[in-house]
Structure 1
């Protein structure tokens, strides 16, 4: 209060009221209205509201007022407020100074008010301390209560555990009290045939009831053991539990032994109720593997040992072979007869016994063991035929076992079992394919490296064969072997498809390399081994090659038997896979189709080469008619030999292996090239004769000019060139007639028309007649 009475004096002298009034009067416009000191968007009265929020106020104004303008206006308003406060203090300064004098007695009044407030403060502190103490006591009580509850629960758990252990021990002790031994003896006597006693049926029924009672009791014990395991799992590492561990282990051992004996007895007597109860007991204690193993050793193993010899020495000595087909048949009969009952029990609806897998862990596991011990050679891929036969028999056996699976999920579970995986590992199909690859591919490679020769003894036998060359026959045999039932394994079908494509490619390479070597080197000794066949065979053998290539293309085409056979074997695959397989085979045949013109060119080349030997005699015409008066009257003898090689080839005994289309191509191709060569040689002879005659005529004219003789005497003499052309004209007419005997019209050959224009007289240039 004293501080307020004597505030600091402002630095600037305040304005008197008269000056303030003058300033207010000056803040008016010409019309006498007060001028606003602030812009219209700034309202100072907003600061006086009870719920004024500065953040909201600034956020509202900043949407249309710059922050700089708002800050400047706020500073101006702050300055005005400070000026107003100073004016108020100056105006009432005397009152502020005298305020302390009027506040006498305030301290005494404050002291009187402070006493009850201090008393109230002490009472509140005492109450707070009491409340805190009560709260702490309450919390301690709750913690003790929770600890007591936990201890009680633990004690109850331990008591329950002890009670269950005692109950299990008591129930186990009750098991031997049942007269099971006597009943077993009575049942055995019945099995042995002692049926003369009248009390036998009742004894059997009594034995059955005893077994059923034992199995029910064992199932109950197993349920208690399952509960005991649950209790122990929630009370581990406790001294009480550790002290009871021996009792629990003893009870578990007694239960396992009793349950094993009861289950074995139930299996021996085919007692469905006993087996069902025992299986439920095994399921309750989560010990399915013991039940599966007991069934394997008790029922399955004796049956399999009778079928598959367990002594390998006997198998080696020849007592039994490595064939598994008959063994699997007997095993399937035994499964149908002696194992079906437990499979039906374990797969019964709403039984909860689906966790057992006797198919894999009992039957298949025992079969696997028997094969490994008694017939280890049955799984050896070193004997491909036996291996494939046994492998297919094994797949058939697995299909038989899967037939007992009640659902697709059961089949998937059966295939995921380790026993199934181990059984499939017996069959090394990849090694089998490698051996088959070497066998099939090596056989074809050996045939391709051999000398080309037709198969058969005589022509009549060859006419009955689709293929003529042993190489082609071996190719189709190899392709058919890849997809035969005696070779193919469906799981390796992709590899056999690749092998088929490789065989076709190998055959194509063998043909193309031979044709290329024949066309390029023409018999040189530096050709590769694959091309030797083409360098040494006569041209007539190319007929066999042409025939076989066409036959192979037809067999491997879309309408051939091979593609249909492959699609039939892969019918279970999706249509997209079948389409890709067919396209791959057809694509592999395309390079083989492209070799057909080369084979035809090889035959034509040999025929043309032989014809050229006779065409060489054409050059003798120049010597025959030079410097003589002899005129041609008939065609030359060499003409009849030009087409003789082609006639001999077409009249051969092998030409019937060519199709009519191939024969036409052969005739037309040969005659075109022979005629073209004929034209080249004729044009060369005529050009040389004309050049020679021109030279001689110039010499003759020069000599006559020197001696002053006349040059008109030789105008009526037929020149040597004309006589040569006359002879050649007669020759090409005969050649055209020979072509006609082969079914070829000489007028259609472009080179023959050029030949006609070269040697025909001027009056016969436009019309070709022969």
Structure 2
């Protein structure tokens, strides 16, 4: 067995032959009857790479080919002798060929017979189809001829019916002055004749509808072209008679006649003719009485107002048009194809306004324009009330006449004019070099500055009924926010310019007012900003939300957030205004505080001891006290007053401490220098300084005086309601000048 194995390679470490197949490659599976290549590959690819599988298959193919060659070589003699054992093959093939040729000829002849029969059948079917089509055309032409003849016959009956109606009406007119049963009977006869005529017209209309169907299927035929004149005459006769009957029914408000006429118009698909007849015969005379446009008229201050005209038009609609609108909106009547609201009433109203009062559409006079626009919207809502369903309302709004009517009102131009008017008023108020109160009214009740009053009035105007257009409420909201932003920018730049003591180079920002303003002016500013912040988050916000009550909750929330954010912008300016007021008060007080430097000159090189506070101490808080004793302080809230008082006293005390500390330090340095000079001189002359050791130094006397001063200053602070010990700078000042035995406790 070992002799049959191929020789191993020197590198074959595990003893297997080099050409040994892997254990997963099972070639006997290829010989199975139910072998499926796809399943085989899918099963192996989960753990064998496709490249390895392909390599093994190619190797197996090479082995098979080599085995086949080996078999041929091994039995080559038998393979060559195979052909020699086939005896008389040609004669056998010749015997088999003869019946096959005979069978082929029979099949060819039978196929020719079948093809001829099939051709005959196709020819017969084509002739049959042509005959059928010709028959259909003939029947169509016959039907067309019969319908035309029938229509002409029915139309001939119309004049007699119409004359009967006229004669009956004449009889009624002649006997109208004699009330009785005969007059009522004659009126009933006239109504019956109109109804009969409308029924006949409806029948003719249905035949005409059928005639149109036939003509649409028999176009370009000579027979139809020859009958075209008769068809056109019949059409004209039908349109004229139907129009007369419809107008007669409208004038007499004969519901049955109108109903039949509308069905006739719907049958011939000529709804526009009915709508135009109703507009010209019923609506137009009524509208021209209200808005005449047949002659020139003078355009005056009130000539273009539409509110009263709309009231009269709506009354006419109720009195003279409602009956037809109710008929056309009858359920399951098929009259939904008519739109008398848009194509008759609204169209005539639009024409009358365009010709009689064209100035009503002009936004050049915003107040009159808005009044007319809102009246027009009310009129459209009135017309929509006659729509039987919501889908009918949508259809009404999609009409060309409705859209054209809406396009006449250029609300964009109106808003632009209002924007210039409202924003211009605020800009004019902000372009000032000084701010002065208009009036002082109560506590926290009203605004005091013209700029603030103009802002509040402008904000309210944006949402007032005589200015706001609800469809453009987003633009008015943006305008409101822009007004608040403009006011906030005006304040912010002014405060920044005052702090820098230089006006802004931009003239629009106009910051000069803040530089020249007194502290009392900032009381008005603080009061107005506080009031505006409260108003924006209170009553004003409620007014805007009430106006937008018909909007979705999401929209209302966004509007609320935007207005509150605008108020937050103003509220953020309050600390800056407070700082400006504090700085102004500190500047006034520091002017008297500078007298503290005179203490040094008072006690230098003298034996004088301090016994009372310096006069300047009583002057430090005098401007602050005068400010808080004034009437204007009541315009500020209690919290603002407290913040202002503590902020000012703290900064004044800081300045007091800086001056006092600097004075004491300078005195000590000077005294130390003088002491060194004195000691040097004494050493040169050999003198002693025992006589000077028991004297009080100038620095101690200055500290004693400053100590008396800060005690008085603390009492003045207490008188104004401020605890001096709560101010860090005062505690530092106390530590700087107080004697050693009083350093730990502040009392005065």
Aligned to 2:127: 144
After superposition, what is the alpha-carbon deviation per residue over 1:315-359, rounded to whole angstroms, capped at 9, x for unaligned? Answer: 4267x7211111111111111111111111111111111110101
Q: Is this contact kept in 1: 2:504–2:511, CA < 8 A?
A: no
Q: How many residues align?
A: 710
Q: 1:464, CA displacement in angstroms? A: 8.3
| 3-state SS, counterpart of residue 405 of structure 1 | coil
Aligned to 1:307: 290
Q: 1:627 to 1:219 in 2, by over 3 A?
A: same
Matched, 1:477 2:447: no
Q: 1:188 to 1:375 in 2, by over 3 A?
A: farther
CA distance, structure 1, for counterparts of residue 239 and residue 375 of structure 2: 38
Aligned to 1:490: 470
| 3-state SS, counterpart of residue 175 of structure 1 | helix
Q: 1:527 to 1:237 in 2, by over 3 A?
A: closer
Q: 1:56, CA displacement in angstroms? A: 7.3
Counterpart of 1:447 (choices 425, 429, 445) is 429
| 3-state SS, counterpart of residue 177 of structure 1 | helix
Aligned to 1:7: none
CA distance, structure 1, for counterparts of residue 59 and residue 197 of structure 2: 98
Q: 1:523, CA displacement in angstroms? A: 7.2
CA distance, structure 1, for counterparts of residue 124 and residue 589 of structure 2: 128
Q: 1:325 to 1:553 in 2, by over 3 A?
A: same
Aligned to 2:526: 546
- 1:580-595 equivalence runs, <5 A: 580-595=558-573
Q: 1:67, CA displacement in angstroms? A: 5.9
Aligned to 1:600: 578
Counterpart of 2:236 (choices 233, 242, 253) is 253
Aligned to 1:511: 491
Aligned to 1:349: 331
Aligned to 1:636: 614
Aligned to 1:69: 60
Q: Is this contact kept in 1: 2:493–2:504, CA < 8 A?
A: no
CA distance, structure 2, for counterparts of residue 537 and residue 310 of structure 1: 62
Q: 1:42 to 1:479 in 2, by over 3 A?
A: closer
Aligned to 1:719: 697
Counterpart of 2:218 (choices 222, 230, 235) is 235
Q: Is this contact kept in 1: 2:276–2:344, CA < 8 A?
A: yes
- 1:282-293 equivalence runs, <5 A: 282-293=265-276
CA distance, structure 1, for counterparts of residue 115 and residue 501 of structure 2: 116
Matched, 1:429 2:411: yes
- 1:662-741 equivalence runs, <5 A: 662-741=640-719
Aligned to 1:12: none
Q: Is this contact kept in 2: 1:540–1:654, CA < 8 A?
A: yes
Q: 1:530, CA displacement in angstroms? A: 2.1
CA distance, structure 1, for counterparts of residue 394 and residue 727 of structure 2: 74
Q: Is this contact kept in 2: 1:455–1:462, CA < 8 A?
A: no
After superposition, what is the alpha-carbon deviation per residue over 1:716-744, rounded to whole angstroms, capped at 9, x for unaligned? Answer: 11111111111111111111111111001
Aligned to 2:177: 195
Aligned to 2:738: 760
- 1:102-117 equivalence runs, <5 A: none
CA distance, structure 2, for counterparts of residue 171 and residue 140 of structure 1: 46
| 3-state SS, counterpart of residue 335 of structure 2 | coil
CA distance, structure 2, for counterparts of residue 505 and residue 73 of structure 1: 93
CA distance, structure 1, for counterparts of residue 512 and residue 607 of structure 2: 54
| 3-state SS, counterpart of residue 530 of structure 1 | coil
Aligned to 2:624: 646
- Once the two structures are overlaid, the 10-residue window that deviates more, 271-280 or 523-532, is 523-532
CA distance, structure 2, for counterparts of residue 305 and residue 707 of structure 1: 129
Q: Is this contact kept in 2: 1:625–1:724, CA < 8 A?
A: yes
Q: 1:420 to 1:61 in 2, by over 3 A?
A: closer
Q: 1:83, CA displacement in angstroms? A: 7.2
Matched, 1:272 2:255: yes
| 3-state SS, counterpart of residue 624 of structure 1 | helix
Aligned to 2:319: 337
After superposition, what is the alpha-carbon deviation per residue over 1:111-168, rounded to whole angstroms, capped at 9, x for unaligned? Answer: 9x96x99888777665554443333222212211111111111111111112211211
After superposition, what is the alpha-carbon deviation per residue over 1:587-643, rounded to whole angstroms, capped at 9, x for unaligned? Answer: 111121111111111111111111111011111111111111211111111111000
Matched, 1:555 2:535: yes
Aligned to 1:359: 341
Q: 1:70 to 1:762 in 2, by over 3 A?
A: closer
Q: 1:191 to 1:488 in 2, by over 3 A?
A: farther
Q: Is this contact kept in 1: 2:172–2:186, CA < 8 A?
A: no
Q: Is this contact kept in 1: 2:494–2:510, CA < 8 A?
A: yes
| 3-state SS, counterpart of residue 593 of structure 2 | helix
Q: 1:186, CA displacement in angstroms? A: 4.1
CA distance, structure 2, for counterparts of residue 57 and residue 751 of structure 1: 99
CA distance, structure 2, for counterparts of residue 618 and residue 394 of structure 1: 78
Q: 1:190 to 1:618 in 2, by over 3 A?
A: farther
Aligned to 1:438: 420
Q: 1:525, CA displacement in angstroms? A: 9.6
Matched, 1:416 2:394: no
Aligned to 2:205: 222
CA distance, structure 2, for counterparts of residue 633 and residue 580 of structure 1: 69
- Once the two structures are overlaid, the 10-residue window that deviates more, 605-614 or 304-313, is 304-313
CA distance, structure 2, for counterparts of residue 288 and residue 561 of structure 1: 54
CA distance, structure 1, for counterparts of residue 197 and residue 421 of structure 2: 63
After superposition, what is the alpha-carbon deviation per residue over 1:262-288, rounded to whole angstroms, capped at 9, x for unaligned? Answer: 111111111111111111111111111
After superposition, what is the alpha-carbon deviation per residue over 1:438-457, rounded to whole angstroms, capped at 9, x for unaligned? Answer: 1111111111123422123x
Q: Is this contact kept in 1: 2:276–2:343, CA < 8 A?
A: yes
Structure 1: gaps spanning 5 or more residues: 1-39, 47-51
Aligned to 1:158: 141
Indicate the RMSD between aligned Cα atoms, in angstroms: 3.2
